[in-house]
Amino acid sequence: MALTFAATPRTHQQVAPRPRGRRGRAARRTLTGWAFAGPATLIVVGLSIFPAVWAFFISRTRWNGIAPARDVGWRNYERIATDPDAITAAKHTLLLTALFVPGSIVLGILIAVALNQKIRLIGFYRTCIFVPYVASAAATGILASFVFNPQFGAANEALRRLGLPAQQFLESPGQALLVICLIALWGEVGFTAVIYLAALQDIPRELIEAATVDGASRWRTFLHITLPELRPVTVFAAIWQTITAMQLFDLIYTTTRGGPMNSTQTIVYYIYELAFQTQRLGYGAAVAYLLFVVTMLLTVCVIWYSRRSGSEAF
Amino acid sequence: MRRLPFSPWHLLLMPLALIFVLPLVQMVLTSFMTSQEINQFPPKFLPTSIHLDGYRTLLSESNILQWFGNTVLVSAIAVLSHLVLCSLAGYGFARLKFAGRGLAFLAIVATVMIPIQLLMIPTYLMFARAGIVDTLAAAFVPWLASAFGIFLMRQFFLGLPAELEEAAVLDGCSTLRTFLSVVLPLARPALATLAIFTLLSSWNDLLWPLVAISDDSKFTLQVGLASFQGTRRTEWSQLMAGNVIATMPLIIAFLVAQKRFIATMTFSGLKG
């Protein structure tokens, strides 16, 4: 939910503070402030910081939720390194992220550029491309398992018409993760397309016109003017989509549930299984902490890189 | 309207638009097919006539109406509560100076990166102790307010000119009065944005209610659908009917509020 980080306003306007009177007035002001901000703060912080700290203590225990928890120190964390299931899940998560993030950025830019043209039917195109984003990942997953059904699905029918061999898609260990990535792109690219579209419309027209007057081709203008102008959005999109990819759950749950033969088992799905299917709460929490740390490191890296290269979005 | 010449962009956009929208069209069409039609080879895209068997069986053999009601309730509470709590907090953080403001805001910022999967385990335990696991309250309590909502509203209030409020204060309005009668009416676009986003995420939430609710009659649509899929994998017309029921309200809302929606994404995405 980091959406508005990006939107740091240029001007901070503040109501001029009322003249400070006695101490009573300051106390009153603090009370008013907390009356406004308190309830929401309490809910947000209470439902995240507190559980996050608690999760850390759980992650250092061996616990099934019923019998008393047994303290095991760092053993859960040590075990992750030698747990073949965790390593496989991590590999799948990384592969998914490595495919999904660049995919949604490149596709997002391409679609946004196309949707930014002043041509007929543009409103219709925008609607079509954005609608899948509104559908839930659960519904998308169910729909996808229909479309990619090896026997009667539309995907194989399309391949057949093109004279290509039928595929197993979600039922093949070699293809399932790729198909899930494609479905995720289908469902999420509307988001990147729209934020790129907004950014494109924000680029000062004079910049493009100046380049055209100077005799730059459209492609060169795109490469040297448009793309650099889109960099802050790209930083934001990269972070946002990384978080989306690393936390992808609904789609996997409603298509393959980690199968076939664990080929779509990701870290998030593994955590769900550990904690809520096999009741290994301590170990599940440890794996979840690892996910947290990796997500945070990736985010920090992207921000650091973008600061260094001077395209700060944050 | 001036006629524009044919553009080569159509060659890219037309197939793309079809790829994005055809699966959804097929979802609707399939929900009107019989299972015979669905299992035919080669597969058919259009039903021969409109069969309502999928809907009929779904309505009689599952609790889908109840799930629908539950989802509407959970989403309505989430949206209303977000509108009230996040606009208050956003205003507090944007305009009111109070002890602990910086720290409180920092804590909220920090929550953004914590993945839900980490919070699930302790939250489940917390809710179990509070006795609200397996009730609808479990589904909506995490949606009462969000860091995102607070940011969004704070951002909006920071951008408002302060003069109006100053005038109200000089006229002797209390802070609450100023907020309610001067600031809030100006905040309609931001409130609409917040409502849309909250509706979208609370309606579509699967993981948390999946974990917190196991009683069939308390399911939300997403959980119900997923459970239905688990037990009747092959009843595609019913599954697609369920999908239509779960998806269409939001798609229709999107089509109606499209302008607002796109503006929302623009507004909240990246300006600046």
pLDDT computed for residue B233 by the predictor: 61
The string of pLDDT tens digits covering residues A114-166 is 999 988 888 899 999 999 999 999 999 999 999 998 888 889 888 998 999 98
Cα separation, B269 vs B272, in Å, equals 10
Label residue A83 left, alpha or beta by phi (over 0 means left) and psi (-120 to 50 means alpha).
Answer: beta
Of B12, B145, B165, nearest to A44 by CB-CB distance is B145
User: Looking at residue B221, which CATH number applies to its domain?
Assistant: 1.10.3720.10
In a domain, A231, yes or no: yes
pLDDT computed for residue B113 by the predictor: 79
pLDDT at A15 over 60: no
pLDDT computed for residue A314 by the predictor: 46
Among A26-40, B127-141, B231-245, the least confident range = B231-245
Could you give the C-alpha distances from A258 to A33, A226, A253, B249, in angstroms and in order? 47, 40, 7, 30
pLDDT computed for residue A85 by the predictor: 93
Nearest chain B Cα distance for residue A185, angstroms: 10
CA A176 from centroid of its chain's CA atoms: 20
Q: Is A186 on the interface with B (CB under 8 A)?
A: yes
In a domain, A12, yes or no: no
- Mean pLDDT of chain B, nearest integer: 88
Q: Which residue has the higher pLDDT, B77 or B177?
A: B77
Q: Which of B11, B71, B81, B113 to mutate to test the interface with A (most CBs of A within 10 A)?
A: B113
Q: How many domains does chain A have?
A: 1
In a domain, B1, yes or no: no
Cα separation, B56 vs A52, in Å, equals 45
Give the rounded percent of residues in chain B with a pLDDT score beyond 70: 93
Nearest chain B Cα distance for residue A14, angstroms: 6
In a domain, A39, yes or no: no
In a domain, B13, yes or no: no
All residues of chain A having their beta carbon less than 8 Å from the beta carbon of residue B23 are 132, 143-144, 147, 154, 186
- Give mean pLDDT, residues B32-38: 86
Q: Is B180 on the interface with A (CB under 8 A)?
A: no
Q: Which domain holds residue B174?
A: 63-268
pLDDT at A6 over 50: no
In a domain, B22, yes or no: no
Q: Is A115 on the interface with B (CB under 8 A)?
A: yes
pLDDT at A14 over 70: no
Q: Which residue has the higher pLDDT, B178 or B265?
A: B178
pLDDT at A108 over 90: yes
In a domain, B150, yes or no: yes
Cα separation, A25 vs B99, in Å, equals 12
The string of pLDDT tens digits covering residues A166-182 is 889 998 888 999 999 99
Q: Do A131 and B24 touch (CB under 8 A)?
A: yes
Nearest chain A Cα distance for residue B57, angstroms: 18
In single-letter form, the type of residue at position B117 comes to Q
The string of pLDDT tens digits covering residues A177-232 is 999 999 999 999 998 998 899 889 888 888 888 888 888 888 898 988 899 889 88
All residues of chain B having their beta carbon less than 8 Å from the beta carbon of residue A55 are 118-119, 121-122
pLDDT at A283 over 70: yes
In a domain, B86, yes or no: yes
The string of pLDDT tens digits covering residues B62-106 is 899 999 999 999 999 999 999 999 999 999 999 998 999 999 998
Among B15-19, B38-42, B98-102, B242-246, the least confident range = B38-42
Residue of B nearest to A193 (CA): B265
The band of A61, judged by pLDDT with boundaries at 50, 70 and 90, is very high
Q: Which domain holds residue A296?
A: 83-308
Q: How many domains does chain B have?
A: 1
User: Looking at residue A200, which CATH number applies to its domain?
Assistant: 1.10.3720.10
CA atoms within 13 A on the CB side of A172: 11
Label residue B4 left, alpha or beta by phi (over 0 means left) and psi (-120 to 50 means alpha).
Answer: beta
